[in-house]
Amino acid sequence: MKPICDVKISKKCTLRDALSVIDAGALKMALVIDEEQKLVGTVSDGDVRRGILRGISLDSCVLTITNRNPITACLQMSREEIVSMAVSKKIYQVPVVDDHGVVVGVHDVGSLVKPDFKKNKVVLMVGGLGKRLRPLTENVPKPMLNVGDKPILQTIIERFVDHGYTDIIMCVNYRSDMIVNYFDDGSKFGANIEYFLEEEKMGTAGALSMIKDKIDEPFFVMNGDLLTSVNFEHMHDYHTMNNAMATMCVREYDFQVPYGVVSVDDQSNIEKIEEKPLHKFLVSAGIYMLSPKALDFIPSGYYDMPSLFDEIIGKNLKAVSFPLREYWIDIGQIEEYNKANQQYHEVF
């Protein structure tokens, strides 16, 4: 059982305060307590992200997203009983309370049942031509461009390895020889890397049809031209807790109309004028987690990821969004490439 001094917060705290505790601690949760040290509820990384999707501000009271009915253990329960309960409920941290409801500790069941190195594979889509980055990509594939002091793709791999995901599959095409020669079997990066060659363009999901016999656990798919500080374990837990067929990492995109927008009725009468309105959208961040059965929907040949999600949704299967709150940049143009180089050492 672990102490709670680093994970407890007052019920008067904000979402931002809860995030600081979650990000700083190994338990990936915060315990909300009252003035008598009694447990009010718990807050996980997933709770915060769901709150963001609902439009709740990070400066709002933490009680707006607190799980008021968390699974808890009493002091009399054995470790075996707690582990069994946690596994059946698909949770990894269990607060322990005494007979008066006062929190006395937390059992980190995840450290007992989750291996340091996960079986879940990571599929990296690295076959693009990078036309918008020419002349930088005339002879170099985009994922091999240096950002910071190393190729983009190396940073991606190192981030996954740091979170325990070491089985990597790369779907390659343009200048694949440079990628294979640099990474080889992945051992010098702490990974095990396999390569699948796209003989022709297969879209953002078509190459997954080539790896169906390699997948037996939920797996990540990520574009090879992104840099992000997202916690992949948090995304994995979110996918599991939601019992999702597919999880899409999303980020907020703002667009401001540079003019006054005029609304009129059927008779051309002006109803209202909105000056330079700001529109907010959620857009795909190019990072996904899929369950193995999702591969059944992918045909051979060209196929895009939005089509896969449409198919899953059309079958009334669960597809969920995982909102990004961490650093993210898509290195698609020279401007983003220069920006990523400027920011790299501040983030990584």
Residue 223 and residue 153 in contact, taking contact as beta carbons nearer than 8 Å = no
What's the confidence (pLDDT) of residue 8? 85
Can you give the CATH number for the domain in which 16 is found?
3.10.580.10
Q: Measure the CA–CA gap between 116 and 200, rounded to whole angstroms.
A: 37
Fill in the DSSP letter of residue 40: E
Domain count, the chain: 2
Mean pLDDT of the region 266-285: 89
Mean pLDDT of the region 244-265: 91
12 & 109 share domain: yes
231 & 324 share domain: yes
Q: What percent of the chain has pLDDT over 90?
A: 47
Is there a domain that residue 3 lies in? no
Closest alpha carbon to 33 in 14, 12, 11: 11
Q: How far is CA 272 from CA 257, 260, 266, 268, in A?
A: 15, 10, 14, 12
187 & 211 share domain: yes
- Containing structural domain, residue 256: 122-347
Is there a domain that residue 278 lies in? yes
Q: How far is CA 255 from CA 7, 51, 282, 332, in A?
A: 37, 22, 11, 19
Domain boundary among 113, 139, 170: 113
Q: Measure the CA–CA gap between 222 and 225, rounded to whole angstroms.
A: 9
In SS3 terms, 152-218 reads as HHHHHHHHHHHCCECEEEEEECCCHHHHHHHHCCCHHHCCEEEEEECCCCCCCCHHHHHCHHHCCCC
Closest alpha carbon to 234 in 47, 101, 63: 47
* Confidence check: pLDDT of 73 > 80: yes
276 & 342 share domain: yes
* Confidence check: pLDDT of 18 > 60: yes
Mean pLDDT of the region 20-35: 82
pLDDT tens digits for 194-228? 999 988 888 888 999 999 989 999 999 999 999 99
Q: Is 260 exposed, middle or buried (0-12, 13-18, 19+ CB in 10 A)?
A: exposed
* Confidence check: pLDDT of 250 > 60: yes
102 & 176 share domain: no
pLDDT tens digits for 28-49? 788 998 888 888 999 988 888 8
- Residue 287: pLDDT band (50, 70, 90) is very high
DSSP letters spanning 272-339: EEEES-EEEEEEEEEEEEE-GGGGGGPPSS---HHHHHHHHHHTT--EEEEE--S-EEE--SHHHHHH
Mean pLDDT of the region 86-96: 77
What's the confidence (pLDDT) of residue 1? 58
Q: What percent of the chain has pLDDT over 70?
A: 96
Mean pLDDT of the region 150-156: 95
Domain boundary among 113, 139, 174: 113
What's the confidence (pLDDT) of residue 111? 60
pLDDT tens digits for 160-172? 998 889 999 999 9
What's the confidence (pLDDT) of residue 202? 87
Is there a domain that residue 145 lies in? yes
